[in-house]
Amino acid sequence: MAEYILEIDKKGRIALPQDLLAQHKLAAGDRLVVRSRHGRIEAQKLAMSHFEQAQISRRPVERRILQ
């Protein structure tokens, strides 16, 4: 198990280390579920259905059409 010390910025954000992102196959735009449980903070990649993935992948196209 790897441990990291991360700093929270003024807006309440943290940046995850690249090796952690790669290990868990996380990329920009992925969503995490964050829970507070038994005094711990837990994060888990949000599993999306194929329908939800298709909706997200179509959004940029729809935005271009509307502009």
| Number of structural domains in the chain | 1
Q: What is the pLDDT of residue 46?
A: 86
Q: What is the pLDDT of residue 57?
A: 61
Q: Distance between CA 56 and CA 40 in Å, rounded?
A: 31
Residue numbers of the domain that contains 32: 18-66
Question: Does residue 37 belong to any structural domain of this protein?
Answer: yes
Dihedrals phi, psi of 12, to nearest 5 degrees: 85, 20
pLDDT tens digit string along 4-58?
Answer: 999 999 999 999 999 999 999 999 988 898 999 999 999 999 887 666 666 666 6
Question: Does residue 31 belong to any structural domain of this protein?
Answer: yes
Q: Which amino acid is at 48?
A: M
The DSSP-derived string for 17-65 is -HHHHHHTT--TT--EEEEEETTEEEEEEPP--HHHHHHHHHHHHHHHH
Whole-prediction pTM = 0.62
